[in-house]
Amino acid sequence: MKTNLIRLGAVLGLLLGGSACEKDFLDINKDPNNPTTADINLVLPSGQATASFIIGGQYNVVGEILAQHLGIAQGGNQYRAWDQFSIPTSTFDGREFSGGLYAGALEDFQYVINAGTPASEWRMVGIAKILKAHTYQVITDLYGDVPFSEALQGSANLTPKYDRQQDIYAGLQALLDEGISDIAKQQGRFPGTADMNYRAATEADMQKWVRLANTLKLRLYLRLSEVDAAGARAGIQALYARNQAATDFNFMRAADSYQFNNGTATNSENPFYQTNFRLPNNLAVSSNLGDTLVRYQDPRLPVYALDADLTTTPLEFLFVRPGQNAPYPNNFTTSTGQAAVRLSFPGTFFIGQAFTNVNRAGSTFPGITATDAPAKSRPTLLLTYEESQLLRAEAAVRGWAPAAENAQTLYEAGVRAALTRYGISTADATTYLARPQVSWAAAGSPAAQLRHVTVQKWISFFATNGAEAWTEVRRSNQPRLQAPLVNLLGGGRFVRRLPYPDSELQRNPRISDTGLTPGDVTTPVWWDVN
């Protein structure tokens, strides 16, 4: 465990630094059981910052590519291998899987639990358990079986077993229940500004954590919809029954989105912005998402995507095919009649003016604001109100929610909230909801209604929560992924999991218990049966 007081800027700087800064992060078993002088209200925000940076950074990017929100721009090679389904075991080693999440965020959350429990710091202990559950949910959804029940024990167990994903899911539900019960004790300090997500300083603020926990429980139960429908239904019905007297069944409210607020100072910016700033012109909007936005006449299109040319009218939104390789086909004719390649980068909402187009800096084009401040400070979204509404809509469509949960009302509320996030007017939202591809009335069967819900969820995750977008695509098989033009796995095969990183392959012999060949990315995780 860290023995010095933790400063968030130092944490983020460490994560952004080179390999010399990785210390001994390759060991996922730092010892959280030996108390130090670090106060838990200093350790809690360290874990929150670390988890947000990694989930909103590289795991976001790989999810965006695999969910076919983003592809590779002409001349961009940083992520081309991922786009063509080559993800080696060296990917996400050190600073993401073992160093960032296990020896970083999870260690911090476990320290808060271990140190806070005997001190009756139940408010922060409850928060740490909820944060721990969310972080593990992201990890297991990306990798499948991972160390859980024997992890985070320090030198007491340097080779923790790999728990089955179904057992991890059961453990996460129990962990969330514990977090809710701990908060209900109303004992210990309020974290206040040490809570980087909700700034919880009152009991009303603490209830936001309870509502987040319930919403996470719903997300976890719905993840089982295809592999264990009976268990998912029973869990959801019990969740509703426990909260039947509460407003909105004690799920997330409009002001409750679980997010991390970023800044404009160096190393405090939104991690997706940082990725693009350091590696500009690598990512362009994928044809799977772009064509969907065009077909739906989605008002988010000019927010999600830049005009591909920026010099001529009307606006041209041009998208890249998954797995595209050089030479890129000409898709545009210049004002002088020359055939050329143009592609739409993510919109300025996400990347500011940190791009070049035809060798011109982004800020030199009309309509492009010469500041990145809004994109830098955009919050990292981890579980939003709009997702909560769409999760509830899915539960209602499946018949697993009480009659009071109206699927259409919840669906439309979720879509409106997603549009409002990007400044879409109420009138334009109403128009959009009336389009046949979006209209609830046009969905004539439960299957069509589920497709509406899952596709809208997928669209809403753009550039903000790529890991969740890819997870939901694998679970629901909606929307259908396009076969990449170059597929290094071979025709008809898709990436279904991330490979275990080298640090685990080299340090924990119990990884062999998973039965997976090192580098396996095609074996589905437990809940992925589509």
Phi and psi at 163, nearest 5°, equal -75, 145
How far is 281 from 295, CA to CA, in rounded Å?
Answer: 26
Between 3.40.47.10, 3.40.50.970, 1.25.40.390, 3.40.710.10, what CATH number should domain 40-260+386-514 receive? Answer: 1.25.40.390
Question: pLDDT by residue (tens digit) across 191-233?
Answer: 999 999 999 999 999 999 999 999 999 999 999 999 999 999 9
Question: So what's the pLDDT on residue 236?
Answer: 98
Q: Which two tokens stand for residue 238?
A: 């019990």
Question: So what's the pLDDT on residue 32?
Answer: 52
Cα of first residue to Cα of last residue in the chain, in angstroms, is 41
Distances (CA, A) of 278 to 16, 28, 113: 11, 28, 36
Find the farthest-apart pair of alpha carbons in the chain and give their distance in angstroms, rounded. 74
Contact between 121 and 71 (Cβ < 8 Å):
no
Contact between 304 and 419 (Cβ < 8 Å):
no
Question: So what's the pLDDT on residue 1?
Answer: 43
Contact between 440 and 419 (Cβ < 8 Å):
no
Distances (CA, A) of 338 to 321, 333, 335, 342, 405: 22, 5, 7, 12, 56
Q: What's the average pLDDT block by block, 10 residues per block, for the chain (530 residues)?
A: 40 37 39 67 97 96 98 95 96 79 95 98 98 98 97 91 98 98 98 98 98 98 98 98 96 97 95 93 97 98 94 89 96 91 95 87 84 95 98 98 98 98 98 97 96 98 98 97 95 95 92 95 96
Question: pLDDT by residue (tens digit) across 98-128?
Answer: 778 999 999 999 999 999 999 999 999 999 9
How far is 301 from 289, CA to CA, in rounded Å?
Answer: 10
Residue among 272, 315, 377, 343 at smallest CA distance from 60:
272
Residue among 191, 210, 33, 53 at smallest CA distance from 113:
33
Distances (CA, A) of 295 to 319, 402, 508: 13, 34, 48
Contact between 44 and 191 (Cβ < 8 Å):
yes
Angle between helix 122-143 and 165-184 (nearest 10)? 160
Angle between helix 40-55 and 122-143 (nearest 10)? 20
Tell me how many helices (H) and strands (E) the chain has: 20, 10
Contact between 105 and 130 (Cβ < 8 Å):
no
Q: Which two tokens stand for residue 408?
A: 């259409």
Contact between 484 and 71 (Cβ < 8 Å):
no
Contact between 449 and 407 (Cβ < 8 Å):
yes
Q: What is the dihedral of CA 166, 52, 27, 527, to 10 degrees?
A: 20
Phi and psi at 84, nearest 5°, equal -105, 15
Question: So what's the pLDDT on residue 98?
Answer: 77
Q: Please report which residue ranges of 161-268 form alpha helices under DSSP H.
A: 165-184, 203-223, 229-242
How far is 375 from 258, CA to CA, in rounded Å?
Answer: 18
Question: So what's the pLDDT on residue 364?
Answer: 87
Q: Which two tokens stand for residue 191?
A: 């974290």
In 46-182 the beta strands, taken as DSSP E runs, fall at 70-72, 146-147, 162-163
Residue 20 amino acid letter: A
**Beta-carbon neighbour count of residue 265 at 10 Å?**
11
Question: So what's the pLDDT on residue 131?
Answer: 98
Q: Which two tokens stand for residue 423?
A: 């400044």
Residues 6 or more apart whose Cβ sits within 8 Å of residue 348 = 306, 362, 368, 369, 375
319: left (phi over 0), alpha (psi -120 to 50) or beta: beta
How far is 16 from 60, CA to CA, in rounded Å?
Answer: 15
How far is 84 from 313, CA to CA, in rounded Å?
Answer: 33
pTM over 0.75: yes
Residue 499 amino acid letter: P
Residues 6 or more apart whose Cβ sits within 8 Å of residue 321 = 71, 286, 287, 482, 484, 485
